[in-house]
């Protein structure tokens, strides 16, 4: 795709996410999206077949976007991933709209739920932490991944934008001592 087309597509997605956050999926319309984005309806339909196509694109959010490759301990990487997810809730409407749309996925034919992929993304560094001896023996990586995704989705629904990072830090402060081996929990933080 040419640079201009990529920029237009991102503008449409960002604007659509803003409208969906404000009005709900059912209350959002292509005309509202085009008016706010300053693009013609033809531009929207060039990139997306319908409002549902926009929703599909928003459901495809990449949780790892912006996260550097792992260089240190797996549990630190997981913590950094959690903080990045929260930061993106605070700063990227596309990410903020994704959990809302995911909650609707079961009620829309043809929508693929992103929850399993999101859980798998969050569980991978936890499985690595388990293999590397960073987790306490009772910890189940899949259960902790589910807990993080649930907390993150709850943060997305919070009506005060800009608070997800602080909420995630509190979540991690509560969670890490219960899952990390004592020696790992005692290491200084190296968050993003």
Tens digits of per-residue pLDDT, 42-84?
A: 999 999 999 999 999 999 988 888 888 888 899 999 999 999 9
Our measurement of the distance from residue 15's CA atom to the centroid of its chain's CA atoms, rounded to an integer in Å, reads 17
Residue, of 68 and 16, whose pLDDT is higher: 16
Domain with CATH 1.10.10.60 in the chain: 3-59
Neighbours of 95 (CB within 10 A): 24
106 secondary structure, DSSP code: G
Collapsing DSSP to helix, strand or coil, 180 comes out as strand
CATH of 3-59, one of 1.10.472.10, 1.10.287.1770, 1.10.10.60, 3.40.50.10540: 1.10.10.60
- The reported pLDDT for the residue numbered 147 is 96
Domain with CATH 1.10.357.10 in the chain: 74-185
How many residues are there in the chain? Answer: 192
- The reported pLDDT for the residue numbered 191 is 46
Domain 74-185 class, CATH top level:
mainly alpha
Distance CA 2, CA 55 (A): 22
What pTM does this model have? 0.87
Look-up of token digits 């797996």: 74
Distance CA 164, CA 90 (A): 6
Our measurement of the distance from residue 5's CA atom to the centroid of its chain's CA atoms, rounded to an integer in Å, reads 24
Residue, of 3 and 178, whose pLDDT is higher: 178
């Amino acid at each position: 795709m040419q640079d201009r087309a990529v920029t237009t597509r991102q503008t449409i997605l960002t604007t659509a996410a803003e409208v969906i956050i404000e009005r709900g999926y059912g209350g959002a319309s292509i005309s509202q999206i085009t008016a706010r984005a300053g693009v013609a309806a033809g531009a929207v339909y060039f990139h997306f077949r319908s409002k549902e196509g926009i929703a599909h694109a928003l459901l495809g959010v990449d949780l790892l976007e912006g996260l550097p490759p792992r260089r240190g301990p797996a549990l630190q990487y997981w913590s950094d991933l959690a903080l990045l997810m929260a930061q993106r809730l605070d700063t990227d409407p596309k990410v903020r709209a994704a959990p809302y749309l995911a909650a609707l996925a079961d009620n829309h034919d043809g929508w693929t739920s992103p929850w399993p992929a999101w859980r798998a993304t969050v569980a991978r560094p936890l499985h690595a932490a388990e293999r590397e001896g960073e987790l306490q023996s009772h910890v189940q990586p899949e259960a902790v991944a589910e807990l993080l995704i649930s907390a993150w989705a709850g943060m997305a629904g919070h009506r005060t934008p800009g608070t997800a990072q602080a909420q995630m830090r509190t979540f991690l402060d509560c969670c890490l001592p219960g899952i990390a081996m004592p020696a790992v929990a005692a290491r200084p933080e190296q968050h993003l």
